[in-house]
Amino acid sequence: MHVAVIVFPGSNCDRDLAVAFREAGAKVSMVWHKDDALPEGVDIVGVPGGFSYGDYLRCGAIAAQSPVCGAVREHAARGGFVIGICNGFQVLTETQMLPGALLRNAGLKYICKTVGLNVATADSVFTSGYGEGAQIAIPIAHHDGNYYADAETVARLEGEGRVAFRYVENPNGSVADIAGILSENRRVLGMMPHPERAADAGHGGTDGAAMFRALADSLATA
């Protein structure tokens, strides 16, 4: 499995994401935001957490217009895999690779803590390492993680089984407790919680590691 981790000015989870992928056996290339192409043979793109471009204008808005995002869009359009975590999820909604948007947390506070997530579907390479309905503990760390989409979009996500994760206790006001969603072809995942921060015993939790292992298993020969 060859992973491209995108680095924007202000990304701060890029190296953590690379470590989690390497631990699962992946080859990782770091790709700068000004590059307009991905390295040859990339299976999956990781869009990391952080504060790309200082969160100016809207979280993820400027990053979504960066040269590398054009390449990420083309990669996804070819059926490539993409995972966007936290700010990466915000970037994927701003590029409209995923529907909806992330609003300011309903309680207005930045929240940094480990939360319970329910795995809402096991039908994706990202979630196949968990049983459907499994409960896992993954940290969140965000100010703008309040997932919003109009009623029609939410109904479509629910109907197509594209909600990947739900909060056990909704921390931020997200509609339908949504913590992560999948694209129509189930190959693009956006999620606010940080699986890469629960991927090593030293993190205090390892529930995120199964995601990277499942990806490595599924994409080993891809």
Q: How far apart are CA 197 and CA 119, in angstroms?
A: 17
Interface map 29-58 toward another protein (x if CB under 8 A): ----------------------------xx
Q: Which is nearer to another protein, 105 or 183 (CB)?
A: 105
The CB-of-66 to another protein minimum distance in angstroms stands at 12
Q: Which residues contact 13 (CB under 8 A, 6 or more apart)?
A: 48, 49, 50, 85, 86, 87, 194, 196, 197
Interface map 78-97 toward another protein (x if CB under 8 A): ---------------xx---
Q: Which is nearer to another protein, 132 or 150 (CB)?
A: 150
- The DSSP secondary-structure symbol of 104 reads P
Q: Is 155 in the site for another protein (CB under 8 A)?
A: no
Phi, psi of 10 (to 5 degrees): 105, -10
Q: How many CB atoms lie within 10 A of CB 115?
A: 19
The CB-of-98 to another protein minimum distance in angstroms stands at 11
Interface map 107-136 toward another protein (x if CB under 8 A): xx----------------------------
Q: Is 220 exposed, middle or buried (0-12, 13-18, 19+ CB in 10 A)?
A: exposed
For tokens 């189930």, the residue is 186
Would you tell me which residues interact with another protein (CB under 8 A)? 57-58, 61-62, 65, 93-94, 99-101, 103-108, 146, 148-149, 173
